[in-house]
Chain A
Amino acid sequence: MDFVVLGQLLNTTLVFSTALIFASLGGIFSERSGVVNIGLEGLMMFGAFAAAVGGYYAQDAGMGEWAPWVGVLCAMAVGVIGSLIHAVAAITFKADQTISGTVINFLAAGSTLYMVKLFFEGSGETPLIDGFSKMAIPGLSKIPVIGEGIFNSYPTTYLAIILVIVIYFVLFKTPFGLRLRAVGEHPSAADTLGVNVNKMRYIGVMLSGLLAGIGGATITLTTTGTFAHNTISGQGFIAIAAMIFGKWNPLGAFGAAVFFGFSQAIRNYVQLFEWSKSIPQEFIFMIPYVLTIIVLVSAVGRSSAPKALGEPYDPSKR
């Protein structure tokens, strides 16, 4: 394997990881505030759908290169609206958070396809649109391997990497982050200190909708170009796995997302090798999932979920 292939592999890895990075960052916001978010899959579906529809109409209106960004904005808005369903049920009405997250997945699967059929005369798929094009960073993109691999990516990939760092600082170095984590660890103590628990949780869940929405948008705007029933197919659940794998830490989740992206990308490249022909393809497909379990088994330390995760806050029980 020469360096060109290595660079391409790195590049494909990042393409597949980007959506997972956004969605798992979203999951971190919600779960750090104490609200389980099984609904990431549905929120990504909302985002992917909104990006496809918004991008299509923006392109139709002649917005050219800006059209995909309109798609991203729509995805953010629809993601937030979708997450509000979860927030209202789980925070205000104290519903079981696993259940209301599942509701999001159901409503998203149903309503997005319903609307696609409504908007596009019964078709099960949105029309193909031009998504983002890759953006070479002057200078840096000339570095061997890394230049091709990292500095010649979609704008969404750059955004994802920047957000990982920003969110890490927001969570661990700002008062807002401290409050958010406090309501997820010990809500009654946070309440005593004057932090509005429910407000912080609403913010956490809405940020998760926003970020998962961008994650979904990334898939339509860089990979598929359309939205159909199988556009997301499990990516949201993989993002949940990445979040848990990364121990609810943005840097950890980033690593896990890249790991999953890499194992998705490697499928295309393993076939270049002669030895791979003797291995049934199914076993190559299995690699990421088996590897995840092996890594989890051998990793030291138990998973460190926020302590109040899944518990509705009831001030009278203090």
Chain B
Amino acid sequence: MSRLRKIFATDSYIVPLVAILLGFLVGAIVMLFGGYDPIAAYSALFKRVFGSPYDFGEAIREMTPLMLTGLAVAFAFRSGMFNIGADGQVMIGMTAASVVGIKLGGVLPSFLLVPLAVIAAAVCGGLWAGIAGYLKAKRGINEVITTIMLNWIALFLSNYIVRTFLLLQGQNRSEDNPASLSMTFLFSTFDNARLHWGTVIALAAATFFYVYLWKTKQGYEMRAVGLNPHAAEYAGMNVGRNVVKAMFISGVFAGLAGAGEVLGVFHYQSVFAASPGYGFDGIAVALLGLTHPLGVILAAILYGTLTYGSAGMSFGADVPPELIRIVIGSIIFFIAAQGIVRWVLKPFYFKRKKEKVL
């Protein structure tokens, strides 16, 4: 309890909150310059998300992969690596879930099929990221460059597998996947919004993230390597092994995001014309969440609300939905450049101290 109070007593939450407010303010100014009504736009945004059970359910659906890719990027970040490759790891996870689900669909009963497809997605996503980790550990190759390359390779490899082995006749997508993560029992409550178990998996993953990194010896090593690899090595830790392990776990999170999308939302896999961009959203979510699992969950909620609601903004107030990226970008900017926020807050702090004196 005292720790909880400590978290909320320091200004660790004030800076993000002020940053969010400033981000909305920047968005409003940009809207005013464009001749739009910011109040109408923002209220349309929130009305879209909270206006109907269906939209609320769909917004939760939107948040789910964001949480997992956010955790993936954040986990790698904590271990001292920048994983730009969550996008490719998501695609590999999708493909693994598709192959297992479709190829073993008639063979296995669903209580075995679904977990197997999810595990395949997680492991394959992890191994894909592990390649970058291995190359960094063994050959000292910058993970930024390998994960960028692996994103493209994953895109083409996934397309090849879907096109060659899983294609639905005459369509640009796979057959329907018999494995399903859908939460069908909730469908009537949320007016058939596509809610799925991936959300529960994401919350479990965040819990694992926290417990593993802060409550286990292995997690301690991983953080030590992330903070200072040389010191960690001097203390007798195996830096290379930690790098590979961290990337593997990071990829597992991303792979799970892919499983959720294929098995919970679409129930098939398309041939992608270009990278779907899950990984880049994940970078934003991880940064917004200050690479802490709880922060990532909150950031995914914020990010999901804003992106899902932005469609409503364009219907309700005619504002181009791209505006929301300016808002999100500004929020990350203010969180990163905390000096600006503290500078904005300075007069308030000063006042408060004065009151205390009186």
A95 touches B337 (CB 8 A): yes
Count of A-B contacts judged by CB separation below 8 Å: 136
Binary flags per residue of B233-271, CB closer than 8 Å to A gives 1, else 0: 000000000000000000000000000000000000000
Residues of B within 8 A of A285 (CB): 152, 156
User: What is the minimal beta-carbon distance from B137 to any residue of chain A, in angstroms?
Assistant: 13
User: What is the minimal beta-carbon distance from A285 to any residue of chain B, in angstroms?
Assistant: 5
Query: Which DSSP category, helix, strand, loop or mixed, fits chain A's interface?
Result: helix
**Of B34, B274, B330, B340, which is within 8 A of A93 by CB?**
B340
CB-nearest residue of chain B to A101: B336
How far is it, in angstroms, between the C-alpha of A233 and the C-alpha of B275 when the chains are bound?
A: 9
How far is it, in angstroms, between the C-alpha of A297 and the C-alpha of B140 when the chains are bound?
A: 9
How far is it, in angstroms, between the C-alpha of A114 and the C-alpha of B148 when the chains are bound?
A: 27
Residues of A within 8 A of B52 (CB): none
CB-nearest residue of chain A to B284: A106
How far is it, in angstroms, between the C-alpha of A305 and the C-alpha of B274 when the chains are bound?
A: 31
Chain B: interface residue total (CB-CB under 8 A): 47
Q: Which of B307-337 contact A (CB under 8 A)?
A: 320, 322-330, 332-333, 335-337
**Of B34, B283, B287, B325, which is within 8 A of A110 by CB?**
B325
A234 touches B145 (CB 8 A): no
Q: Check B146 for interface membership: any CB of A closer than 8 A.
A: yes
CB-nearest residue of chain A to B35: A118
Q: Check B186 for interface membership: any CB of A closer than 8 A.
A: no
Residues of A within 8 A of B160 (CB): 280, 282-283
B82 touches A118 (CB 8 A): no
A113 touches B82 (CB 8 A): no
A244 touches B323 (CB 8 A): no
**Of A114, A233, A234, A290, which is within 8 A of B322 by CB?**
A114
Residues of A within 8 A of B287 (CB): 99, 102
Q: Check A72 for interface membership: any CB of B closer than 8 A.
A: no
Known: A110-B325, A114-B326, A290-B153. A241 touches B145 (CB 8 A): yes
Q: Check B110 for interface membership: any CB of A closer than 8 A.
A: no
Q: Check A189 for interface membership: any CB of B closer than 8 A.
A: no
User: What is the minimal beta-carbon distance from A36 to any residue of chain B, in angstroms?
Assistant: 9
Binary flags per residue of A227-250, CB closer than 8 Å to B gives 1, else 0: 000100110011011001100000
Contacts A286-B153, A297-B139 known; 16 new A-B pairs at CB < 8 A: A38-B82, A89-B336, A93-B337, A95-B333, A95-B339, A107-B326, A110-B329, A240-B148, A244-B145, A282-B157, A282-B160, A283-B160, A285-B152, A290-B153, A296-B139, A296-B141
Question: 10 shortest A-B CB distances, which residue pairs?
Answer: A110-B325, A106-B329, A93-B339, A95-B336, A282-B160, A93-B337, A107-B329, A113-B322, A89-B337, A110-B326
Q: Which A residues have a C-beta under 8 Å from some C-beta of B?
A: 38, 85, 88-89, 92-96, 98-100, 102-103, 105-107, 109-111, 113-114, 117-118, 122, 230, 233-234, 237-238, 240-241, 244-245, 280, 282-283, 285-286, 289-290, 292-293, 296-297, 302-303, 305
